[in-house]
Amino acid sequence: MPFIDVKLTKKISDSQAVALKTELGKMIEAFPGKNESWLMCNIESHKNIWFKGDNSSDCAFVEVKLYGAVNSDGAEKFTGLLCDYLENTLTIPSSRTYIRYEGGTDWGWNGSNF
């Protein structure tokens, strides 16, 4: 049950959002036992985000929430994959990208909790 929340300063098209969602579905496999079949994504572009007091350059903030503990090796791999994608595909510098990871077991679905 991963949830990935992406906020970008750069305005992206619907097709770019779909491509990013597809790539996130592949990247989530960096975490043992996670895959696209339970992945939920929120992708928001053209947001007002200031980094280091400046909003003249594009930046990104991404939250990755996982059911269970966050595997450090998986987080390291996911960070590399996502930063490469954002920089090489959407021209958002890795140096202006934050990724936050959160794990937990209090998740509800379909009227009850896991």
Q: Do residues 3 and 107 touch, judged by C-beta distance below 8 A?
A: no
Q: Which CATH number fits domain 3-109: 3.40.50.720, 3.30.429.10, 3.40.50.10470, 3.10.20.600?
A: 3.30.429.10
**Domain segments of the chain: what residues?**
3-109
pLDDT at residue number 83:
98
pLDDT at residue number 10:
97
pLDDT at residue number 1:
87
pLDDT at residue number 7:
98
CA dihedral sign of residues 53, 4, 46, 83: positive
pLDDT at residue number 114:
86
Mean pLDDT by 10 residues, the chain (114 residues): 97 98 98 96 97 94 97 97 98 98 94 91
